[in-house]
Structure 1
Amino acid sequence: MNKPILNKNILGLGANSFFTDFSTEMILPLLPIFLERFLHATKTQIGLIEGLAELSVALLIALSGFYSDRLGRRKGIVVFGYGLSNLIKPLAFFAQSTTMIMTIRIGDRLAKGIRVAPRDALISASTPNGSSGFVFGFHKMMDGAGALIGSLSAFALLWWLGESEETFRTIFALSIMPGIISMIILIFLITDVPFLPTPVSRFRPSALPTQFYWLVGFQTLFSLFAMNYSFMILKAGDNGLALAVIPLAYTLYNLTQALFAIPIGKLADRLGKASLLSFVYLAFGLGAMAMATGSVWGAWLGFAIYGFFAGGFNSLAKAIISDTAPYDLKATAYGVYYTSVGIATLVSLAVAGWMWDNYGSTLLFVIASSSAVVLSLTLFMMRNRLAHF
């Protein structure tokens, strides 16, 4: 009898991610606005904060993944990482400067860096053969669904309480509630999947296959030209969206992310992950071009398409790693992947902020769009060489 694809661990880790993202997305869509409006941060400062936050994730993911593979267990590290994150995020309530927000963001991302690689390896260990695309798509869908509820909650509270600094801080404080629920699920419902670790004292790059490094190369290059949610939110304001409506537009992004995550994963299992990943790149390019028009409709369309992109970008990469990395080096592989992408993201966001402050937002989004289209076509043409994708 075949084991169910959505077993207790897959469902539990999905529910944990749902409530964690519920908590996170009550804060994230508001932070760039809070920084710019109430703490008077420049675009360069916002880009640097987000870039350093992503680099923090990258640096610890590699160490955490390697340690997890040497330890032979995953759950303890995952619990610690989620617990630290859910305690740090609500501290934004007390922030009085950009430095304080930067410290909170970096602390939260360090906590994410601790948990991500062992969590993804635990998902992989709980996944039946031949269903990695669907399982990681399901996990991304749960992420997106939690993010949808979180951003809707932020919009509802802004609309109900007003657009004051006090309202922003109240929302930050309330985010601790879904975070607590996520920890209860993780501690009491998730079962570890112990394994016998390989007695290797240091990481050997040659232990990971060529297909893995092709993936890392494409994802890293793409990340150099892409941008994250913070610049999409600021661009929406430039395009004419009212402040209270921006979290609603961000909710559209989360809705499309949740709706398409599973279909993208299922199609990837059938048609090939490289082909789907190239299409995801193209979607980002189209979304950035819509944003570059400078219109309100362009902002709404950009958020919708960006959600489709987010539904596949990392989940497809994680499914590829699940398929190609050796069993006892999966967390290490996730660590190498996130480290490379994180360093590229730091460079990308720092340069993007500087470019916006000096040359405006339109050029920035046109460059991002054009680069994504070129990389999409390149990956699609090379898909047959990347057989394991």
Structure 2
Amino acid sequence: MTKICQSLNEFSRELIYPLFPIFITKVLGFSILQLGVIEGASEAASILTKRAIERKSEKETHKVLLPLLTLLVSSITRPLFAFFEGIFPISLIRFADKLEGNKSMIAKLLGPLAAFLLLPYLDFNYKKLFLITVIPGAIVAVLIYISIRELPRSVKVDKESEFLQGKKSKTLILPKIFFSLGNPSGSFLMLRAQELGSTTSVLPILWLITNSFLILSSRYGGKTKNKSKTFLIGIFLRSIAYISFTFIPFDSHLWLPFALYGTAMGLTEIPGGKSYFESKRDKTNRIPPYLPPLAEGLTPIIANSFIGFLWNWWSSFLAFMICAGLNLIALGLLFLLTPSDNS
């Protein structure tokens, strides 16, 4: 039942994801810098909140209760986009929107496809599309209510969980920071597509292409034995994707950079790639335990705000080229700092 709720929540998120930046900039009239601040602040807050919930859930008897509540908040607040226009409430709703994530492959495909099919019937009214998310949100609320009622009164918690074990691992702080700084929100990709002349109805299809290649590449990455090499290839492809977004001549060729971007995300978000930065043990305890999550929480707001600033005051060309450069720096640092993995 929890997986059903997660899939419905992911479907609801993917339904509005490719259209959210257009709604913010074209309908509400926010600048691209303000969009970057909204995306960065909401992403940073959601990361830090999820880390706190993970830590708290290790100490509580109801390990499932807190994740279910965050899933509920994420699902039922999404329709509120249709009722608020200020930057502060929009940021709060966006924070709740990102609070619970899921890797449901079907939802990642059905969400953009549903947006593409529904938009003409809704007269391309974004607020009406946001209101449709009430339906999956209501279903999630009912299922979570049933799940909470059926939870056992106590759950045995292992003394040393995966989260606690993660504290012992060494984090490659510097390459991870450059890696995160070079990975702003996908909202900027949607804005670039519209800048090149793509219509609103095409944007969900472009995001569908992204998710399709993400699914295919993640399946390959999950089966390969050399996770580190796959992760490094993903970083390189992501830098190429940002360069292609810069030099793509016509909107008819936009499927290619979106396909590259999806492939790169699939290779860098596989389980092996996700734990790559924590692959070495820290026997000296020189890295404070609070530093990795703090860096992970701060880099999204810096990355998105900085890219929004560059785009707003200079051009998208400079913004995407800097993203590509940051990824190449992260790639070079990983080669230098982990020579044993390069073979």
Q: Distance in 2 between matches of 1:191 and 1:385?
A: 46
Shift of 1:16: 4.1
Contact 2:215 2:266 in 1 (8 A): yes
AA aligned to 2:93 is I
Please, which of 131, 144, 157 is the counterpart of residue 173 of structure 1? 131
Contact 2:241 2:260 in 1 (8 A): yes
Please, which of 356, 363, 366 is the counterpart of residue 311 of structure 2? 356
Q: TM-score, normalised by structure 1?
A: 0.74
Shift of 1:297: 4.5
Contact 1:61 1:339 in 2 (8 A): no
Shift of 1:321: 8.1
Q: Which moved more, 1:37-46 or 1:369-378?
A: 369-378
Which secondary structure state, in structure 1, belongs to the residue aligned with residue 201 of structure 2? helix
Q: Distance in 2 between matches of 1:99 and 1:206?
A: 34
Change (3 A) 1:314 1:206: closer
Q: Does 2:62 match 1:49?
A: no
Following superposition of structure 1 onto structure 2, how do residues 306-321 of structure 1 map, counting pairs within 5 Å?
Answer: 306-316=261-271, 317-320=273-276
Following superposition of structure 1 onto structure 2, how do residues 320-335 of structure 1 map, counting pairs within 5 Å?
Answer: 320=276
Please, which of 165, 168, 189 is the counterpart of residue 208 of structure 1? 168
Q: Distance in 2 between matches of 1:229 and 1:338?
A: 22
Q: Does 2:239 match 1:282?
A: no
AA aligned to 1:379 is L
- Name 2:259's counterpart in structure 1: 304
Contact 1:72 1:197 in 2 (8 A): no
Change (3 A) 1:160 1:207: closer
Contact 1:151 1:251 in 2 (8 A): yes
Aligned residues: 329
AA aligned to 1:40 is G
Change (3 A) 1:323 1:76: farther
Which secondary structure state, in structure 2, belongs to the residue aligned with residue 74 of structure 1? coil
AA aligned to 2:232 is S
AA aligned to 1:238 is E
Change (3 A) 1:14 1:318: farther
Contact 1:235 1:291 in 2 (8 A): yes
Shift of 1:278: 0.8
Which secondary structure state, in structure 2, belongs to the residue aligned with residue 243 of structure 1? coil
AA aligned to 1:152 is L
Q: Does 2:120 match 1:159?
A: yes
Shift of 1:299: 2.8
Question: Greater helix share, 1 or 2?
Answer: 1
Gaps of 5+ in 2: 282-288
- Name 2:286's counterpart in structure 1: none
Gaps of 5+ in 1: 1-11, 117-138, 326-332
RMSD, aligned α-carbons = 3.3
- Name 2:91's counterpart in structure 1: 102
AA aligned to 2:197 is G
Q: Which moved more, 1:373-382 or 1:25-34?
A: 373-382
AA aligned to 1:292 is T
Q: Distance in 2 between matches of 1:180 and 1:337?
A: 36
Q: Which moved more, 1:336-345 or 1:75-84?
A: 336-345
- Name 2:192's counterpart in structure 1: 235
Q: TM-score, normalised by structure 2?
A: 0.84
Q: Which moved more, 1:65-74 or 1:226-235?
A: 65-74
Change (3 A) 1:30 1:368: same
Contact 2:46 2:96 in 1 (8 A): no
Q: Does 2:179 match 1:222?
A: yes
Q: Distance in 1 between matches of 2:141 and 2:233?
A: 35
Change (3 A) 1:383 1:319: same
Identity across the alignment (%): 23
AA aligned to 2:159 is P
Q: Distance in 1 between matches of 2:5 and 2:293?
A: 21
- Name 1:8's counterpart in structure 2: none
Q: Distance in 1 between matches of 2:303 and 2:18?
A: 19
Q: Distance in 1 between matches of 2:292 and 2:3?
A: 22
Q: Does 2:270 match 1:345?
A: no
